[in-house]
Amino acid sequence: MRGRELVVVLDFGSQYSQLIARRVRECKVYCEIHPFDISVEALRRMRPKGVILSGGPANVYQEGAPICDKRVFELGVPILGICYGMQLMAYLLGGEVEPADKREYGPAQLIVDRPSPLFEGVPRESRVWMSHGDRIAVPPPGFEVVAHTANSPIAAMADEDRKFYGLQFHPEVKHTEFGSKIISNFLFKICGCSPTWDAASFVKRAIEEIRRRVGDERVLCAVSGGVDSTTLAALIHRAIGDRLICIFVDTGLLRLNEAEEVRRNFEKLGIKLHFVDASQRFLEKLKGVTDPEMKRKIIGEEFIAVFADEVKKFGRIRFLAQGTLYPDVIESVSVKGPSATIKTHHNVGGLPDVMPFELIEPFRELFKDEVRAVGRELGIPPEILGRHPFPGPGLAIRVIGEVTKERLDVLRQADAIFIEEIKRAGLYDEIWQAFAVLLPVKSVGVMGDERTYENVVALRAVTSTDGMTADWARIPYDVLARISNRIINEVKGVNRVVYDISSKPPSTIEWE
């Protein structure tokens, strides 16, 4: 991916580093996040048009504080320091940082005191978002104070000659009224970038890159039918055609008609799919197992085993394509760096650990919604791009207790009715995830004149932006009533439906 304009964010551990990158991308400028201690040589080789120093929880004088190489300031490119990034800039360039009298957290009124290209189009007074303990006492030589707030006499500083800028507040968060304007000023008026990064240019470059790397070899890809793997397959297929080998494993833990739908979708996209029905194998392995983590472990291992068996049929394949997304990359960067957020990923995984593939990960630089944009660009139908996330272990973690074919079938029918009604009510797209859960309890009911003693189905629907936090969806009562009625009438073996009204945290989205 050479020959494009790049802005680098150096990550000092801020929870907002991803957001900075995102705002830059929204301006159609390509952006990468790297750990703060990346070597200057590596940075120079990337030839960035600008560097942004993120915020972070440390203070510059504390022992072990993340400090970047001072030569970053000798790259000859504009630098924007945000919060800790600004303090570090002051510290390394000869200014003074001091603890503020009190921590400043939340909104503040910014007053711009002198003109600067960074604040072009930003009114003299505007609302900004603060979150810091320390502040600048004396700016480094060459810098001038550009703006202040009531609690931060130096809320923005600039050395217009060297094009170094520091902001005490966070322009990347939405609460900063003109934050996007400030970031776009930095990119366009200061770094001289042009807004050329979009899905079409991404696809064009990615295809060139894939062709260059793969030559006339073949690429293997495990597809689930979800947004990421379908888009990945479509992209690689466009690059190398039928030298892409897609394997789809039916684990028997999929939703009603799902395997068939995936097969049809790939047919429509013109991509050959090697379909493996391994449902018996998975069910065998899951017999008698009730512990959720045990289920995950078994399914993960079995998946690898099935995949390995299948791959043998194709002879030696050099490359494996994976739909790793940007947040995954950042998280692995942050594991090494100072960020505290580490999430376990349970995606159909571990393949590269046990098989000697070279990885192709064209989405390493994208966020989920950017993958959707790429998918649209590649002509993938909106129904696929808008699909709710579905966990790797599938319905096994939604049949609470032992997983059997019979219980899976009951769940599948209830789940299909739930989704159908949510779609009919026009609610599907505003819900992050909706699904049914089969509980391991039975309840008493009455149907006609008969007493029944049957299964309970729980409905779970949540709104969320990233799956990390979530709230239960306020589905209208009449829609819930219709769903409950239909499930109890149409699904044999269910006589009670309940709606889950827990948020995450403290609950999780899935029940297991």
Residue partners of 80: CB distance under 8 A and separation at least 6 = 50, 51, 52, 53, 118, 165, 166, 167, 186, 190
User: 273 is written with which tokens?
Assistant: 């799919």
The least distance separating ligand XMP from the CB of residue 469, rounded to whole angstroms, comes to 9
User: Element (H or E) spanning 460, and its range?
Assistant: strand 450-463
User: 162 is written with which tokens?
Assistant: 């060297």
Nearer to ligand XMP (CB atom), residue 433 or residue 455: 433
508 Rama sector, left if φ>0, alpha if ψ -120 to 50, beta otherwise = beta
Choosing from 162, 272, 318, 346, the residue that interacts with ligand XMP (CB under 6 A) is: 346
The least distance separating ligand XMP from the CB of residue 289, rounded to whole angstroms, comes to 14
Nearer to ligand XMP (CB atom), residue 11 or residue 512: 512
The least distance separating ligand XMP from the CB of residue 70, rounded to whole angstroms, comes to 41
The least distance separating ligand XMP from the CB of residue 500, rounded to whole angstroms, comes to 12
Choosing from 47, 467, 480, 499, the residue that interacts with ligand XMP (CB under 6 A) is: 467
The least distance separating ligand XMP from the CB of residue 434, rounded to whole angstroms, comes to 11
Stretch that binds ligand XMP, among 244-252, 271-279, 399-407, 503-511 (CB under 6 A): 503-511
Strands 96-112 and 144-148: antiparallel
Rounded Cα–Cα distance for residues 328 and 26 (Å): 19
Binding positions for ligand XMP, 242-261, rule CB under 6 A: none
Catalytic residues: 83, 170, 172
Nearer to ligand XMP (CB atom), residue 246 or residue 299: 299
The least distance separating ligand XMP from the CB of residue 388, rounded to whole angstroms, comes to 8
- Count Cβ neighbours within 10 Å for each residue of 215-249 and write b for 16 or more, e otherwise: eeebbbbbbbbbbbbbbbbbbbbbbbeebbbbbbb
Nearer to ligand XMP (CB atom), residue 27 or residue 473: 473
- The alpha carbon of residue 358 and the mean position of all alpha carbons in its chain are separated, in whole angstroms, by 23
Nearer to ligand XMP (CB atom), residue 191 or residue 278: 278
Q: How many residues bind ligand XMP (CB under 6 A)?
A: 13
Binding positions for ligand XMP, 290-319, rule CB under 6 A: 296
Nearer to ligand XMP (CB atom), residue 163 or residue 295: 295
Return the sign of the alpha-carbon dihedral for residues 81, 87, 91, 93. positive
The least distance separating ligand XMP from the CB of residue 349, rounded to whole angstroms, comes to 8
Q: Is 192 in the site for ligand XMP (CB under 6 A)?
A: no
Rounded Cα–Cα distance for residues 385 and 368 (Å): 10
Between 373 and 402, how does the x/- string for binding to ligand XMP read (CB under 6 A)? Answer: ----------------x-xxx---------
- Which backbone phi and psi does 403 adopt, to 5 degrees? -95, 115
Q: For residue 204, give the amino acid letter.
A: K
Cβ(235)–Cβ(206) under 8 Å?
A: yes
Nearer to ligand XMP (CB atom), residue 376 or residue 504: 504
Choosing from 109, 194, 196, 508, the residue that interacts with ligand XMP (CB under 6 A) is: 508
What are residue 132's DSSP bridge partners? Answer: 104
The least distance separating ligand XMP from the CB of residue 441, rounded to whole angstroms, comes to 20
The least distance separating ligand XMP from the CB of residue 401, rounded to whole angstroms, comes to 17
The least distance separating ligand XMP from the CB of residue 464, rounded to whole angstroms, comes to 8
Q: Is 22 in the site for ligand XMP (CB under 6 A)?
A: no
Nearer to ligand XMP (CB atom), residue 230 or residue 347: 347
Alpha-helical (H) ranges within 253-325 are 258-269, 279-286, 292-312
Choosing from 87, 176, 347, 413, the residue that interacts with ligand XMP (CB under 6 A) is: 347
Of all residues in the chain, what percent are helix, strand and coil, respectively (each to 5)? 35, 25, 40
Binding positions for ligand XMP, 396-455, rule CB under 6 A: 433
Task: For residue 119, count other CB atoms closer than 10 A to its CB.
Answer: 23
The length of the chain, given as a count of residues: 512
Nearer to ligand XMP (CB atom), residue 188 or residue 390: 390
Nearer to ligand XMP (CB atom), residue 207 or residue 431: 431
What are residue 180's DSSP bridge partners? Answer: none
Rounded Cα–Cα distance for residues 336 and 264 (Å): 42
User: 491 is written with which tokens?
Assistant: 């699904």
Rounded Cα–Cα distance for residues 158 and 182 (Å): 13
Helix (H, G, I), strand (E, B) or coil at 277: strand
Sheet containing 30-35: which strands, arranged edge to edge? 30-35, 6-11, 50-53, 79-82, 164-167, 156-159, 144-148, 96-112, 125-138
Which positions touch ligand XMP (CB under 6 A)? 296, 346-347, 389, 391-393, 433, 467, 504, 508-510
